[in-house]
Amino acid sequence: MDPVRDYKSWFMARTVESVLRKIFTSFNSMNGNALNLQQPVEKNDRNVSVGKFSRLNALGVSYL
């Protein structure tokens, strides 16, 4: 077994997974069902990015 090749395949799979997850989360937020499971949608424009970030953290995808 070649450890370098194994690491490359693992890294590629990890990168593809994170890219797909980013695409799907941004697509969901464009649709309006933006991961707001408990929090209501913020009316203040200043808090929208903070609220979206906290919702992502609540779902455990803060490593994106």
38: left (phi over 0), alpha (psi -120 to 50) or beta: alpha
Dihedral over alpha carbons 14, 63, 61, 11 (to 10 degrees)? 0
Q: Give the H/E segment covering residue 19.
A: helix 3-31
Confidence band of 2 (pLDDT split at 50, 70, 90): confident
Q: Is 35 within the bounds of a domain? A: yes
Q: Is 34 within the bounds of a domain? A: yes
Q: Is 64 within the bounds of a domain? A: no
Its pTM surpasses 0.85: no
How many structural domains does the chain have? 1
Range of the domain at 46: 3-58
Query: Could you tell me if 35 and 55 are in contact, meaning their C-beta atoms sit under 8 angstroms apart?
Result: yes
pLDDT for the residue numbered 30: 59
Q: What is the total residue count of the chain? A: 64
Q: Is 63 within the bounds of a domain? A: no
Q: What is the pLDDT of residues 11-31, one digit of tens each?
A: 888 898 888 888 777 766 655
